[in-house]
């Protein structure tokens, strides 16, 4: 008999069964539920894993309380931005977890978009919950189904955090990245720009969809020659902008999928003897700290990365503690940060 089978017969979650059998003081189960679970366990001869229990008994803090932990797994680098941006999100998770006396035990990346190996490692560890950051599939419906499938493979609680909505019965912390990128492109179009290039991460990309949607809405064709998909790095932005300019194209503006790519692009533009924003306006997404110290300073979309990290940890821990049971979806806002790299809306093209 397994915990999952006991849970199915008792009509409760696997985590509730685990807490009752392991006599967790934070079990949300009532007296009748506990009695039903213990009767099923006794009748079926269920015996807890002695090794796992021993590890749990020794995993305590100095104050004698059980050491609880969460983990985060980045499903796709291109969805969340640069390493600098991901570090901001992770720091937010760590700070919030610490407030609740939890630790962030793991932070891993699945750069090829294939989750199971890293997910299984986390699921088989002693963590109490797992945050999946970003999507691993091009189709959001498929991603939602995939994450629901993963959640059924483990008693660990799971939350999704990213820049697109999923049709899934999971807790979600979301900022609408496609709408944010579309607003960034709108900003350029309203400035009078029509030759707008795009430089972004390879593969499936929410910012790229936003760029295309904005151009289509304004009747501007989305030309393949104006798009460069590059590694998410300053070098990637530098090479992407260089290829655009060497090809003979004359874009008057460029949307970069994140600030790191924009920094590289700005250097390439200067090396071609052009100026930002005099010849080419640059707008990007993330709003990492370095953007305000560039020359010119970088106009960007502020994505609430730190707050996304804090809310991810807060909602995940609340789920672990039994504070809520229905799936929650929290949508966080973004906003434009106007600086010097983009001509103002009343400036000529």
pLDDT tens profile 263-310: 999 999 999 999 999 999 999 999 999 999 999 999 999 999 999 999
| Number of neighbours of residue 326 by Cβ within 10 angstroms | 6
Taking the CA atoms of 116, 117, 121 and 124 in sequence, report the sign of the dihedral they define.
Answer: positive
Over the stretch 188-233, which tens digit does the pLDDT of each residue have?
A: 999 999 999 999 987 658 899 999 999 999 999 999 999 999 998 9
What are the distances in angstroms from CA 233 to CA 81, 83, 227?
9, 9, 16
Distances (CA, A) of 131 to 37, 223, 276: 28, 37, 39
- Render 263-295 in DSSP notation, one character per residue: HHHHHHHHHTT--TTTT-EEEEEE--GGGGGSS
* pLDDT of the residue at 173: 97
For the four alpha carbons of 121, 125, 127 and 129, in that order, the dihedral sign comes to: positive
**Tokens 């407030």 belong to residue:** 99
CB 115 within 8 A of CB 153: no
pLDDT in tens, 79-107: 456 788 888 999 999 999 999 999 998 77
Over 50: is that where the pLDDT of 9 sits?
yes
**DSSP classification of residue 151:** H
Q: What is the mean pLDDT of the chain?
A: 84
pLDDT by residue (tens digit) across 225-264? 999 999 989 999 999 999 999 999 999 999 999 999 999 9
The pLDDT of residue 20 is: 79
Nearest Cα neighbor of 207 from 180, 228, 229, 188 is 180
Question: Lowest-pLDDT range, 3-12, 19-28, 240-249?
Answer: 19-28
> Which residues are CB-contacts of 112 (< 8 A; sequence separation ≥ 6)?
none
Sign of CA dihedral 95, 100, 105, 108: negative
Please tell me the least confidently modeled range out of 32-41, 75-84, 91-100, 118-127.
75-84
Helix (H) or strand (E) run with residue 99 in it: helix 83-99
Residue with the bigger pLDDT between 236 and 123: it is 236
Domains of the chain by range and CATH?
Answer: 3-48 (1.10.260.40), 68-176+305-335 (3.40.50.2300), 177-303 (3.40.50.2300)
* Structure confidence at residue 52 as a pLDDT band (50, 70, 90): very low
Q: Angle CA(27)–CA(150)–CA(19) in degrees, nearest 5?
A: 10
Mean pLDDT of the 112-129 span: 68
CA distance 221 to 199: 16
Query: pTM (2 decimals)?
Result: 0.77
pLDDT at 106: 76
Spatial strand order in the sheet of 329-331: 102-109, 68-74, 129-133, 157-162, 171-174, 329-331
pLDDT for position 81: 64
């Amino acid at each position: 008999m397994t915990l999952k089978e006991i849970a199915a017969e008792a009509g409760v979650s696997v985590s509730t069964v685990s807490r009752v059998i392991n006599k967790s003081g934070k079990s949300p189960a009532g007296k009748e539920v506990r009695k039903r679970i213990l009767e099923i366990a006794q009748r079926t001869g269920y015996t807890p894993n002695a090794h796992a229990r021993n590890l749990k008994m020794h995993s305590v803090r100095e104050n004698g309380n059980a050491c609880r932990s969460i983990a985060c797994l980045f499903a796709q680098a291109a969805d969340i931005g640069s390493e600098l941006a991901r570090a901001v999100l992770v720091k937010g998770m760590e700070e919030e977890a610490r407030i609740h006396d939890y630790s962030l035990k793991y932070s891993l990346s699945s750069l090829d978009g294939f989750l199971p190996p890293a997910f299984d490692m986390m699921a088989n560890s002693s963590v109490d919950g797992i945050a999946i950051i970003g999507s691993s599939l091009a189709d959001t419906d498929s991603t939602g189904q995939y994450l629901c499938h993963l959640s059924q493979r483990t008693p660990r609680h799971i939350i999704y955090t990213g820049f697109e909505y999923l049709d899934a019965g999971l807790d979600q912390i979301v900022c609408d990245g496609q709408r944010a990128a579309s607003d960034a492109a709108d900003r350029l179009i309203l400035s009078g720009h029509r030759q707008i290039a795009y430089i972004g991460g390879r593969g499936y990309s929410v910012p790229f969809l936003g760029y295309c949607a904005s151009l289509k809405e304004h009747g501007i064709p989305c030309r393949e020659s104006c798009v460069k998909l590059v590694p998410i790095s300053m070098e990637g932005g530098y090479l992407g902008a260089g290829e655009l300019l060497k090809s003979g194209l004359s874009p008057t503006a460029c949307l970069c999928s994140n600030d790191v790519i924009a920094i590289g692009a700005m250097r390439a533009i200067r090396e071609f003897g052009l100026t930002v924003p005099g010849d080419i306006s640059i707008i990007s997404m993330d709003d990492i700290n370095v953007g305000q110290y560039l020359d010119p300073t970088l106009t960007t979309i502020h994505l609430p990365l730190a707050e996304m990290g804090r809310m991810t940890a807060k909602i995940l821990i609340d789920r672990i503690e039994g504070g809520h049971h229905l799936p929650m979806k929290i949508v966080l806002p973004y906003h434009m940060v106007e600086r010097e790299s983009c001509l103002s809306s009343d400036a000529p093209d």
